[in-house]
Structure 1
Amino acid sequence: MSVGAAARRVRAYGGQFLLLAVLTLVVTLLVSGVPRLVNRLAEQGLRAQLTSEPPARRDLSYTSNALVPTTKTAMADAQERFDALAAGMPPQVRSAITERWLRVDIPPTRVVGPDLAARNLLVDVGLRAMPGVQDVGTLVEGAWPSETYVPDRPIEVALDVDVARKLNLRAGSRLRIGTVDLAGTFGNPKPLVVSGLFRPINRADGAWEGLPQLLRIIEPKGDSEPFTITGVIAQSAMNKRATEGWPIQSEFRYRLGIDRIAASGLNQLIDGLQEMQRNLPPGYALTIGVDVPLRAFAAQVNAARTLLAVIGAGVLATLAGLIVLAAMLATRRRRSEFALIRARGGAATTGARRSLAESLLVVPAAALVGWLLGTLFPGEPDPTAPYAAAATVLVTLALPLATLAVPAGGAARRDLVRMRPSARRLTVEVSLLLLAVLAAVLLRRRGLTLGEVDPLLVSVPVLLAVAAAVLALRAYPWPLRLVSRLAARTRGTVTFLGTARAGRSAVAAPLVVVVLAIGTAAFCGVAAAGVAASRDRAAERIVPADALIRGERFAPDTVAALDGMPGVRAVTPVLIESDQRLAADDLGTDARMGQATVLLVDGPGLATVTEESDVDGAVPAVLRSARTEPGPLPAIVSPAVAADLSRGGLADSAFISVQGQRYEFRVAGAQDTFPLLAANISRFVILPWQALPQRSTTPVPTSLLVAGDRLDVQALRQAGDQGQLRYQQQGAVTGRERPLGVTVDTRAGVRRDLGDGGANGVLAFGFVAGAVGGTVLGLLAIAFTVLAGARARGQVLSRLRTLGLSRRQWRGLLLVELAPLVGVSVLTGALVGAVLPLVLNPVLGLSAFTGGMPVRVAFEPGLVVAVVALGAVALGFAVAVEALNNRRLRLGEVLRLGEES
């Protein structure tokens, strides 16, 4: 068989081969392009997450417990260890480092001098040798400390200009540095001179972020406490102080660059950081802050990739089904040609060889075009070339295999024969059902490793969809036959003929493909709704009101001050204290049960705030109804605390401390979680504030819950800061330390943060692509289903039109015949999509996108609306495809040319 003959046949049946080529192109496009796009979205999410973190969070900091050089000087020894630590890092960590800093410190000690005495200032100064400080700072006054060592020269120190001026220091200020004993006696003085004042070129430069900072004054905690500052000295001076026995400490900081951290190598980087913590050099402490956001992002990416594997399996299985349908349609249209070849003495494989030659002219070229188009997608590629090659081979063989399946004899009127399934087919179908159930059970019990393409995971959705389609095929003809018998007793012919034909139609393969496609789309919709609902619950757990003000301690009148602000409808105080010991009696005898977090809430106030904020979650009745009365307080505790108290015989009387006061409580109920408590807190005790007994001191809130409309976050923050300041100043003993500023979180803001950033872009892409792709492919599969029986329907309609069937009755007949098939397909697919999240949810790890809140998939009323709308669209689309096909076939010619024209 020549290439020219094969090319002519391809041209003659151009529409069929064009369809096969387009499907092949789509498959290789998805295999090549989607991984790139997913990697691109993951990289963007990782960049956004790391950018939102403080730069110091990316530092790897080694701090020496003590540095006592032997044969080398202090700075030379520190530099050698600095380089050795960098060289000993795992390669994946070392390659991600973009900046690094070395410093050697002398702990802060007392300084005195006339400039300080002029303002009666008590100051401690820490001395720091920091190579490269001249490159990141510029002198304002004086000079940098000299590196030339001169005996008996005072220690030269350079200070930040703002720090120096606040303490009445300037270039040339002469001081003495020494030690202070417990009695406050100043001794062992050494001369110290301020050689110069500098200003940082860029205050955000990482060189200035070592602790304690060079650019800030540490405020005293009390009236008798000193101010603490840090100054820069020369390396030679540091070496001299070390040889004299001054205590020194080294810190080596290595900063990971955002552009050096790739999402594809995230797990390897995290493993490298773990290896550094395990192989810590003796005498050093390692501080790593970047591993927490990296782990959180890696969990999201792995969960998203696992979900994409499920969605991709559904989409690719649907495309495979469409390719099979396209091959079956092509061979069905050429059935007489292959039968004639066999009648003229051709071998059984002659038609298959013809089809193979034709496929080789079309499929590989289409696959190559799809692959090249996929390479245009932005992002790092995955090694998917073998998968694309395998898909190309399978699609190329689809048409020859379909040709081999063509019956040797002529076509039979199978629609007029009541076929009973063979024992072989029943065995296959029952085995398929059992396999689908077994696979789902094994997946639930075994679990999986997130982020990897698990064969069992990707096969379960396909098996369940195929099994559901088989059940639908076996079930839906029976009610149609009943309706057909009832319709036979009526006067009209449309309902009778339509239901009779629909009940006898053989649409096994098309129905399976439709169920796969619609099931994938429905799965995406249901899973997305479950994630969104779980995020709402997570936001309500974190902020069970419209706004939450967190601080240290607030004055009691802060509640009234907030209650009078515009837009505020209700306010309630909350007190949270962690790591409190349980006691067996009022004397504080340790119950030896571990520590617990104490949460003090005003039951009626919390109920009012949650109701006004439209927060879902009822406050336990025991907390709402508790009143001040003799005996222990009723408390809600965690199951772990309840079990410990029950074993210790303290369930009816135990004690716990709240802001220095010990309260007796009894277990009145147990809950796994409670609002305001983090998901990882498994031990807590919740007490009703309104029922506390009278004591000499009353608890003060550490947080405030606010309900209201259009709340001004800045005004809430200002009111919270003022409440903290009033508490500090109204006490019997007031301190000079300024309270830290409060944080204000709104429920809407927390919900927005849960849905933005991180790998949410990958997750959203998966849901949108799966829903849209499944819907489009489902409609295409319905079109294939219609075209599969279009020839037979055209012949029937031609005969009926000659017998007087009107155009209106013709449309009604189409609707009646196609509606059961479309309805069963869409409904079965929707049911599969609704069940799949229930089966797969425990192993998908989607709680990484909900702040740790378990994702609960429930019935969504919107799914019913979507199914009805999709069914209407699908039915209209099916009727339109049938009408267009009938116009193309010209029904009169169908009747005149015969059954197999």
Structure 2
Amino acid sequence: MSVGAAVRRVRAYGGQFLLLAVLTLVVTLLISGVPRLVNRLAEQGLRTQLNSEPAARRDITYVSTDAPAASTKTAMGDARERFDSLAEKMPPQVRSAVTERWHRVDLAPVRVAGPDLAARKLLVNLGLRAMPGIQDTGTLVEGAWPSETYVPSRPIEVALDVDVAGKLNLRSGSQLRMGEADRNGTMQDPVPVVVSGLFRPADRANGAWDGLPSMLRITEPLGDGEPLIVVGVVAQSALNKRAVDGWPVQSEWRYRLGTERIDARGLNEMIDGLQQIQRTVPPGVTLTVGIDVPLRAFAAQVNAARTLLAVIGAGVLATLAGLIVLAAVLAVRRRRSEFALLRARGGAVTAGARRSLAESLLVVPVAAVCGWLLGTLFPGAPDPTAPYAAAVTVLVTLALPLATLAVPAGGAARSDLVRVRPSARRITVEVSVLVLAGLAAVLLRRRGLTLGEVDPLLVSVPVLLAAAAAVLALRAYPWPLLLVSRLAARTRGSVAFLGTARAGRSTVAAPLVVVVLAIGTAAFCAVVAAGVDASRDRAAERLVPADAVIRGERFAPDTLDALGGMPGVRAVTRVLNEPDQRLAADDLGTDARIGQTNVLLIDGSGLSTVSRRSGVDLSVPAALRSAQPTPGPLPAIVSPAVAADLAKAGLDRSAFVSVQGERYEFRVAGTQEAFPLLPANTARFVILPWQALPQRVTTPVPTSLLIAGDRLDVEALRRAGDEGQLRYQTGGAVTGKERPIGVTVDTREQVRRDLGNGGANGVLAFGFVAGASGGTVLGLLAIAFTVLAGARARGQVLSRLRTLGLSRRQWRGLLLVELAPLVGVSVLTGALVGAVLPLLLNPVLGLSAFTSGTPVRVAFEPGLVAAVFALGAVALGFAVAVEALNNRRLRLGEVLRLGEES
């Protein structure tokens, strides 16, 4: 058992040990490197998603309107004290993520007047803001910053943004008066104000300027006759004096979280910390947190992606484990005579195993360390996977000695015949595998799982299903071959008969399991990826069942004609969405007490036309499409929850709902789980046909417009939508005071791109690509092992047949006939496992996080059939090439001359 003898044996069997070392290196490389890549992709996705949001979305904002608790405490001093206190009370994971923070105290805007404002007849309200450090973020253009030295007789000094001052006709030195104004505009007890200086922000993107109302722009009036609102910088001492005099103050504390300090691996802890902050808001303070929404959405995607990666990783690692076992078994079989001779010379039963262990210790640990070190070169933060790599190294090191003990060391035997009656042990093992696979599948569906965690049951299901499918295939496929062999025996020629006969007698249990598992992993990735892609298409069509949609408040009726005349527009239809409406039991408005419901008015024929011309497969219910104005209740499509509530209350034949101030009677004409233009999680809705509405005093106006067209100009659509809103507001008998919020324009193509980009889609795409490519490559390698497992026996048969006159062409045909059933069964069984596995696991994977809540449906893909046949052809050609190379290396004549165990 010397080291030198072990080294010489490793050199003598270098090819076998090289294969074992490469497989070990790949396994430890994956264990070390893949988690780093996943973490890197998750971090990149999180950075991209957070950076795409407005910076203010990352702010934790506290706002208080309380005055200082004691007369000895100034407004600014109290704000500073609470500023530090709020930060100290944050959970550690949130506090450590804060990169910038600001606090300020504002005086509410009041009327301001002066000669320079009167010259342009401007009506202005001025707010005063004191914020420490504001001078460091701005550059003076004219004048000076307000002085911190308080002089009672001096006017209040205020600094304004230079652009704001220019629009208001103000300059350094402008004299103003400030005070509360009554209905007639007369000021009560005005105080003098002077513009001490004008400044320009050094960086407009600096978060110090994000406070509302903004100091860098004029807030437009809400209606006609209302004043403009501007905010100026005032000294802290002056603000403290105004607070003591009783002017109302408002304090604000903002803490901005840095994108680089939010770790994708600690999202759950960060979300829990934000929840804790929301539960412990101090009295008299309001809290605004906006970052928890994108963090929750991203966490849902990451958890779903990690769960999917666990399934894919289980398949890949199990395949590699099977390949290692096959490599060890093949190596021992090639050295069977050596171990038999060792026993014949008086060696113990474990002598061969000890020799194999010494050889493995020289190869496997070194390869494992190299694979681990290569994995550390991958970008990304590491996971604590070193114990797994150590366990794998130990198991692979023991694989060769255990194979030495398991493989018989006796003489040659016919091991290529399938027994008519398998042994009781084999039947027990096969039945146990089938029962375990079925039990694991049922338990997984009933129990569910926690997304983002590696569940032992989840990772075992793919392996068990592949083993069960391989067992069934092994039991089933020899019988058709037996029939084909009998038919081939009646034909001329020996190629078909000999090929089918040998294919039906081959025993490839372990290699076939590995092939099925590898191909099943690749097929699983392809099927799920196709399902996610198709579900994203459906989600985009649900959100925008047209080429584009314009969403706003209310549009003038003539907006449809204006849009219809725009270039590229082929059809336009109207939609009205009224959320959170109460259903009534009668025309008087008696509450039906069945909860709030979303109400959607659609033009049935118009929606059908727009969706058809947009290439959207949308089936509008006939009750909505063909409805006409008739006496009686309107036919309505409702959600199952609303239908059940109406039936329970006895209102399914007559109920009432209010739409823009008018009440309409409807009846349940059908139910539907979901409907376009509504969020996927909307469980309560009522859809009415617009074209069938009865005549009323007021006519409903649309809140959304669906457009079908080619090469649509989004900016032109936005302008047309804004103009339509403005016409509605100013064209009626009563005009609104508030300016309408600008419309939003979404195209289906853009929505589809947004669903496929950003977030954790990089992690998901990596899993699909790695699983599909890795499964295919490992499947081909497993097929090579399957071919090599019977290469010696085939080589001997071919040697004898060649001496009997078998031509080279017939030899290739015999190889094809013999290998085609094995390869075909392996690929088809693996593809079947890969197609069934998504149907089993899809409900528990949470992939709807990547499809805007739309359930992912895994369906039959015609392209998968073509891919399976293509893969089968490639695998068969690869198998024949491996067999030919192996026969050329073994030299068929020498195989025949040296005998069975050469």
The alignment's TM-score, normalised by the length of structure 1, stands at 0.98
Q: Are the aligned partners of 2:40 and 2:380 in contact in 1 as well (CA < 8 Å)?
A: yes
Distance 1:853 1:314 in 2: 27
Q: Are the aligned partners of 1:418 and 1:504 in contact in 2 as well (CA < 8 Å)?
A: no
Aligned-partner residue type, residue 77 of structure 1 = D
| Aligned position for 2:168 | 167
Alignment of 1:50-199 (within 5 A): 50-70=50-70, 71-181=72-182, 186-199=187-200
Give the deviation of 1:416 after TM superposition.
5.2
The root-mean-square deviation of aligned C-alpha atoms, in Å, is 1.5
Give the deviation of 1:344 after TM superposition.
1.4
Give the deviation of 1:311 after TM superposition.
0.3
Give the deviation of 1:665 after TM superposition.
1.7
Aligned-partner residue type, residue 93 of structure 1 = V
| Aligned position for 1:612 | 613
Distance 1:222 1:724 in 2: 15
Report the secondary structure of 1:600's partner residue. strand
Report the secondary structure of 1:751's partner residue. helix
Alignment of 1:726-875 (within 5 A): 726-735=727-736, 737-875=738-876
Distance 2:131 2:382 in 1: 43
Distance 1:157 1:594 in 2: 53
Give the deviation of 1:713 after TM superposition.
1.8
Give the deviation of 1:359 after TM superposition.
0.5
Report the secondary structure of 1:250's partner residue. strand
Distance 1:853 1:620 in 2: 20
Give the deviation of 1:736 after TM superposition.
6.3
Q: What is the CA deviation profile of residues 510-551 of structure 1, one whole-angstrom value per residue up to 9, with x for unaligned ones?
A: 000000000000000000001001100100000000111112
Q: What is the CA deviation profile of residues 574-602 of structure 1, one whole-angstrom value per residue up to 9, with x for unaligned ones?
A: 11122222223333333333222221111
Q: What is the CA deviation profile of residues 123-144 of structure 1, one whole-angstrom value per residue up to 9, with x for unaligned ones?
A: 2222211111111122223222
Alignment of 1:428-827 (within 5 A): 428-735=429-736, 737-827=738-828
Distance 1:796 1:606 in 2: 71
Distance 1:859 1:67 in 2: 67
Distance 2:418 2:213 in 1: 90
Distance 1:634 1:165 in 2: 59
| Aligned position for 2:31 | 31
Identity score, percent: 83
Distance 2:200 2:899 in 1: 96
Give the deviation of 1:409 after TM superposition.
2.0
Aligned-partner residue type, residue 563 of structure 2 = L
Q: What is the CA deviation profile of residues 415-440 of structure 1, one whole-angstrom value per residue up to 9, with x for unaligned ones?
A: 35745311111111111111111111
Distance 1:521 1:278 in 2: 46
Q: Are the aligned partners of 2:552 and 2:744 in contact in 1 as well (CA < 8 Å)?
A: yes
Aligned-partner residue type, residue 377 of structure 1 = F
Aligned-partner residue type, residue 576 of structure 1 = N
Larger mean Cα displacement after TM superposition, 629-638 or 407-416: 407-416
| Aligned position for 1:256 | 257
Q: What is the CA deviation profile of residues 704-724 of structure 1, one whole-angstrom value per residue up to 9, with x for unaligned ones?
A: 111112222222222222222
Q: Are the aligned partners of 2:337 and 2:409 in contact in 1 as well (CA < 8 Å)?
A: no
Alignment of 1:269-308 (within 5 A): 269-308=270-309
Distance 1:476 1:331 in 2: 28
Are positions 1:45 and 2:16 aligned together? Answer: no
Give the deviation of 1:603 after TM superposition.
0.5
Larger mean Cα displacement after TM superposition, 835-844 or 146-155: 146-155
Q: What is the CA deviation profile of residues 3-28 of structure 1, one whole-angstrom value per residue up to 9, with x for unaligned ones?
A: 00011011111111111011111111
Give the deviation of 1:260 after TM superposition.
1.2
Q: Are the aligned partners of 1:223 and 1:735 in contact in 2 as well (CA < 8 Å)?
A: no
Give the deviation of 1:182 after TM superposition.
6.2
Report the secondary structure of 2:150's partner residue. coil
Distance 1:448 1:277 in 2: 28
Report the secondary structure of 1:414's partner residue. coil
Are positions 1:8 and 2:11 aligned together? Answer: no
Report the secondary structure of 2:601's partner residue. strand
Distance 1:829 1:67 in 2: 72
| Aligned position for 1:899 | 900
Give the deviation of 1:640 after TM superposition.
2.3
Give the deviation of 1:751 after TM superposition.
0.5
Distance 1:417 1:191 in 2: 106
Quickly say closer, same or farther: Cα 1:111–1:589, change in 2 above 3 A: farther
Q: What is the CA deviation profile of residues 28-47 of structure 1, one whole-angstrom value per residue up to 9, with x for unaligned ones?
A: 11111111111111111111
Aligned-partner residue type, residue 729 of structure 2 = Q
Distance 2:201 2:643 in 1: 56
Quickly say closer, same or farther: Cα 1:417–1:165, change in 2 above 3 A: closer
Distance 1:414 1:94 in 2: 68
Give the deviation of 1:162 after TM superposition.
2.2
Give the deviation of 1:695 after TM superposition.
2.0
Distance 2:861 2:212 in 1: 53
Report the secondary structure of 2:416's partner residue. helix
Q: Are the aligned partners of 1:180 and 1:187 in contact in 2 as well (CA < 8 Å)?
A: yes
Aligned-partner residue type, residue 295 of structure 2 = L
Distance 1:553 1:417 in 2: 77
Q: Are the aligned partners of 2:116 and 2:174 in contact in 1 as well (CA < 8 Å)?
A: yes
* Runs (5+) with no aligned partner, structure 1: none
Report the secondary structure of 2:686's partner residue. strand
Give the deviation of 1:822 after TM superposition.
0.4
Q: Are the aligned partners of 1:219 and 1:737 in contact in 2 as well (CA < 8 Å)?
A: no
Give the deviation of 1:184 after TM superposition.
6.1
Alignment of 1:416-435 (within 5 A): 418=419, 420-435=421-436
Give the deviation of 1:672 after TM superposition.
1.9
Give the deviation of 1:267 after TM superposition.
1.6
Q: Are the aligned partners of 1:171 and 1:195 in contact in 2 as well (CA < 8 Å)?
A: yes
Aligned-partner residue type, residue 528 of structure 1 = A
Q: Are the aligned partners of 2:608 and 2:618 in contact in 1 as well (CA < 8 Å)?
A: no
Report the secondary structure of 1:69's partner residue. coil
Give the deviation of 1:632 after TM superposition.
1.7
Q: Are the aligned partners of 1:352 and 1:403 in contact in 2 as well (CA < 8 Å)?
A: yes
Give the deviation of 1:628 after TM superposition.
1.1
Larger mean Cα displacement after TM superposition, 309-318 or 416-425: 416-425
Give the deviation of 1:340 after TM superposition.
1.0
| Aligned position for 2:340 | 339
Larger mean Cα displacement after TM superposition, 125-134 or 525-534: 125-134
Q: Are the aligned partners of 1:65 and 1:285 in contact in 2 as well (CA < 8 Å)?
A: no
Report the secondary structure of 1:415's partner residue. coil
Q: Are the aligned partners of 1:220 and 1:736 in contact in 2 as well (CA < 8 Å)?
A: no
Give the deviation of 1:641 after TM superposition.
2.1
Report the secondary structure of 2:61's partner residue. strand
Give the deviation of 1:725 after TM superposition.
2.7
Larger mean Cα displacement after TM superposition, 871-880 or 195-204: 195-204
Give the deviation of 1:293 after TM superposition.
0.7
Q: Are the aligned partners of 1:603 and 1:623 in contact in 2 as well (CA < 8 Å)?
A: yes
Distance 1:241 1:713 in 2: 49
| Aligned position for 2:380 | 379
Larger mean Cα displacement after TM superposition, 494-503 or 513-522: 494-503
Give the deviation of 1:503 after TM superposition.
1.0
Distance 2:134 2:656 in 1: 55
Distance 1:244 1:267 in 2: 47
Give the deviation of 1:183 after TM superposition.
7.2
Larger mean Cα displacement after TM superposition, 650-659 or 313-322: 650-659
Aligned-partner residue type, residue 831 of structure 1 = L
